[in-house]
């Protein structure tokens, strides 16, 4: 554990290591595919490894599903849809979903530790954010299952059929919950693929779903790389595609399903503006900036990665921000004191470092938090860039790491123009003392989610999704349910 001196304290002191125990975790050495209610070997016989990015150690081998396996999974999902799930009383369906949520809660400690091991995110985050939110999504949508007629009054509600779902590596279990829970509540069956670097909590979820006694084929969980995802997207008998990931793959998916009857929701990248007005509560705003960009190592599609500070307060904001960055503890994600864990993969660290180099080469001024970088594992210190322009590459492109650009503005109109001048439109944050300013800005910012005097707040009841190249469709709340139903 990298110890950190607290620079703000009058007396220098260190935190003692406080690692979460892994003794209660028993990972299998090899995981198979969960298809038709059984754990089955991949037809190719191939497996690939998932690593702990904090230590570079191998955690387990997982099955590599090919087209044949995808076909098996879709057939199982179709059979379960036609014969069982679409015919079942909605109140019965709800009981299964509640059961999944409860077993997840029972195994929450295990889920949190495995999420941290496999993804590199801090235990504080997986324990206090990812896992409870994932459980809450199942609880919330379980509640809707037998109330669809109230969700969509005066309409006849029907499920879509088989949903093919592909999720990323930044919130592995939470994204699985966002996808599976509303699909099941609305009466659909599921084939889902977790990301290749973070498959393990989805495989534990397969065990939980099995334990909950869901009829075989209602949820199929298959692991693999991009080609496995593409096989789901291109399968003729899938009725809906739900994807979260990069804008590049989102575009490929959109092309692949054009002209087919498949419905889609795409939740893609972002470059969200976090706006500090001159009347903002500065200390809270600084915490909001930290949370906006350094939460989950910045691997957050709605990260507040473009900071806009009104000119009158920029000096004090940047000074306080740097001081706060120096107190952040980077290191062992399993340590309960750690603020910044490991970057998810070697590849992603290379992407982030490429952008940091571009920032420096383009003439921006860089500051990095004073952290001790562990020898093993993939880490990136919290990084900010000033002296950037609207046209800078690091202002325009999604970095997906703990890297913030800071720009200034004088008037509200100016910041609205700058904030909206991006191909993305996922989220934004506004910090000000005045409600009128909040309403003015929030109606003019082109972003799916806007937080006022807070950032990165999530709740199952509130819809989430983007504009423009950030994708379309909403997840969470009633909106999330409507993405899985046909209304007549
Ligand atoms: P990605 O978009 O390639 O991966 C996301 C998921 O899509 C994974 O499960 C992957 O196996 C699957 N996939 C890949 N190619 C596919 C295809 N042709 N058809 C169907 N599924 C496919 O993201 P990647 O390569 O891991 O990250 C690259 C960049 O994407 C990151 O640097 C970041 O900027 C962005 N990203 C954004 C996310 C977000 O939530 N907005 C999540 C993950 C990455
Ligand atoms: Mg991993």
Q: How far is residue 69's CA from residue 216's CA, in Å, rounded to a whole number? A: 16
Please give the average per-residue pLDDT across 84-101, as a whole number: 97
pLDDT value at residue 2: 46
Active-site option among 135, 301, 371, 380: 301
Residue nearest to atom 36 of ligand 1 (CA): 246
Q: Are residues 156 and 286 in the same domain?
A: no
Give me the percent of the chain exceeding a pLDDT of 70: 98
Q: Is the CB of 172 under 6 A from ligand 1?
A: no
Predicted confidence at residue 469, as pLDDT, reads 87
Whether residues 263 and 277 fall in one domain = no
368: tokens are 């990095």
pLDDT of the residue at 15: 87
Report the CATH number at residue 453: 3.40.309.10
In a domain, 47, yes or no: yes
Q: Is residue 19 part of a domain?
A: no
CATH of residue 207: 3.40.605.10
Distance CA(419)–CA(81), nearest Å, equals 44
Query: Do both 186 and 207 map to the same domain?
Result: yes
Question: Which of the two residues, 468 and 360, has the higher pLDDT score?
Answer: 360
Same domain, 104 and 185: yes
Domain identity same for 104 and 127: yes
Q: How confident is the model at residue 430 (pLDDT cuts 50, 70, 90)?
A: very high
- Name residues whose C-beta falls within 8 Å of residue 176's C-beta, 6 or more positions apart in sequence: 134, 167, 192, 194, 201, 202, 205
Residues 22-30: what's their mean pLDDT? 95
Cα torsion 458, 463, 468, 469 to 10°: value is: 50
Residue 5 has pLDDT above 70, yes or no: no
125 is catalytic: no
Is pLDDT above 50 for 446? Answer: yes
| Confidence check: pLDDT of 244 > 90 | yes
Quick check: 256 pLDDT over 70? yes
In a domain, 228, yes or no: yes
Domain match, 259 and 288 both: no
Residues 121 and 86 placed together within one structural domain of the fold: yes
Q: Is 174 within a domain?
A: yes
What whole-number distance in Å separates Cα of residue 181 and Cα of residue 474? 14
CB of residue 256 inside a 6 A radius of ligand 1? no
- Is 250 found in the same domain as 188? yes
- Total domains in the chain come to 2
* Residue 14: predicted pLDDT: 82
Q: Are residues 116 and 256 located together in one domain of the fold?
A: yes
On whether both 192 and 55 belong to a single domain, the answer is: yes
Is residue 267 among the annotated active site residues? Answer: yes
Boundaries of domain holding 332: 273-461
Ligand 1 proximity of 464 Cβ (cutoff 6 Å): no
Model confidence, pTM: 0.96
pLDDT for the residue 13: 75
Give me the chain's average pLDDT, please: 96
Separation CA 126–CA 382 (nearest Å): 19
Predicted confidence at residue 11, as pLDDT, reads 56
> Does residue 439 surpass a pLDDT of 50?
yes
Nearest alpha carbon, ligand 1 atom 8: 195
Give the pLDDT of residue 1.
43
Reported as a single tens digit per residue, the pLDDT across 30-75 is 999 999 999 999 999 999 999 999 999 999 999 999 999 999 999 9
Same domain, 109 and 199: yes
Specify whether 296 is located in the same domain as 382. Answer: yes
pLDDT tens for each residue of 171-225:
999 999 999 999 999 999 999 999 999 999 999 999 999 999 999 999 999 999 9
Write down the pLDDT at residue 12.
Answer: 64
Give a yes or no: residue 356 inside a domain. Answer: yes
Q: Which of 245, 299, 422, 475 maximizes ligand 1 atoms within 8 Å of its Cβ, making it the mutation to test the pocket?
A: 245
Cross-sheet strand order for the sheet of 427-431: 365-368, 383-386, 403-409, 306-310, 273-276, 427-431, 449-452
Domain presence at residue 334? yes
Residue of 373, 366, 351 lying closest to 404 (CA atoms) = 366
Residue whose Cα lies nearest atom 13 of ligand 1: it is 226
The verdict on residue 315 lying in a domain is yes
- Among 165, 216, 169, residue whose Cα is nearest residue 193: 165
Question: Mean pLDDT across the stretch 260-281?
Answer: 96
pLDDT digits (tens, 9 = 90+) for 124-135: 999 999 999 999
Residue 9 maps to a domain: no
């Amino acid at each position: 554990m990298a110890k950190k001196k607290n620079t703000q304290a009058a007396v220098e002191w260190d935190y003692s290591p406080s690692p979460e125990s892994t003794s209660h975790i028993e990972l299998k050495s090899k995981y198979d595919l969960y298809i038709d209610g059984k754990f089955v070997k991949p037809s190719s016989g191939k497996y690939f490894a998932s690593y702990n990015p904090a230590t570079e150690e191998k955690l387990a081998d997982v099955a590599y599903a090919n087209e044949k396996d995808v076909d098996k999974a879709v057939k199982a999902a179709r059979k379960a849809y036609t014969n069982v799930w679409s015919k079942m009383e909605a109140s019965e369906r709800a009981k299964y979903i509640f059961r999944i949520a409860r077993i997840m809660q029972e195994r929450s400690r295990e889920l949190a530790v495995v999420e941290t091991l496999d993804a590199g995110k801090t235990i504080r985050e997986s324990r206090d954010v990812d896992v409870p939110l994932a459980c809450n999504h199942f609880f919330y949508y379980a509640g809707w299952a037998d109330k669809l007629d109230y969700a969509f009054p005066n309409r006849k509600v029907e499920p879509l059929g088989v949903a093919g779902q592909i999720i990323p590596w930044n919130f592995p279990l939470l994204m699985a919950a966002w996808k599976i829970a509303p699909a099941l509540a609305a009466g659909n069956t599921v084939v889902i693929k977790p990301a290749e670097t973070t498959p393990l909590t989805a495989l534990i979820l397969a065990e939980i779903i099995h334990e909950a006694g869901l009829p075989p084929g209602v949820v199929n969980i298959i692991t693999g790389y991009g080609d496995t995802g593409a096989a789901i997207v291109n399968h003729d008998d899938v009725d809906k595609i739900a994807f979260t990931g990069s804008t590049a793959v989102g575009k490929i998916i959109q092309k692949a399903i054009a002209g087919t009857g498949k419905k889609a929701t795409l939740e893609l990248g972002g470059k969200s503006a976090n706006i500090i007005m001159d009347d903002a509560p500065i200390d809270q705003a600084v915490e909001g900036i930290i949370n906006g960009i350094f939460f989950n190592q910045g691997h957050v599609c709605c990260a507040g990665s473009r900071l806009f500070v009104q000119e009158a307060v920029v000096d004090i904001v940047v000074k306080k921000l740097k001081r706060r960055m120096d107190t952040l503890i980077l290191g062992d994600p399993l340590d309960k004191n750690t603020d910044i864990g490991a970057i998810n993969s070697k590849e992603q660290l290379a992407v982030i470092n490429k952008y940091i180099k571009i920032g420096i080469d383009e003439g921006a001024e860089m500051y990095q938090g004073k952290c001790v970088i562990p020898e093993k594992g993939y880490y990136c210190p919290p990084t900010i860039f000033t002296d950037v322009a609207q046209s800078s590459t690091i202002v325009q492109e999604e970095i997906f790491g703990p890297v913030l650009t800071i720009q200034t503005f004088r008037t509200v109109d100016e910041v609205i123009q700058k904030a909206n001048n991006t191909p993305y439109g996922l989220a934004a944050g506004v910090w000000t003392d005045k409600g009128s300013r909040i309403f003015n800005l929030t109606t003019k910012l082109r972003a799916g989610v806007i937080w006022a005097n807070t950032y990165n707040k999530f709740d199952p009841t509130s819809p989430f999704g983007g504009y423009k190249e950030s994708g379309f469709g909403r997840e969470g709340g009633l909106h999330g349910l409507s993405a899985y139903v046909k209304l007549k």
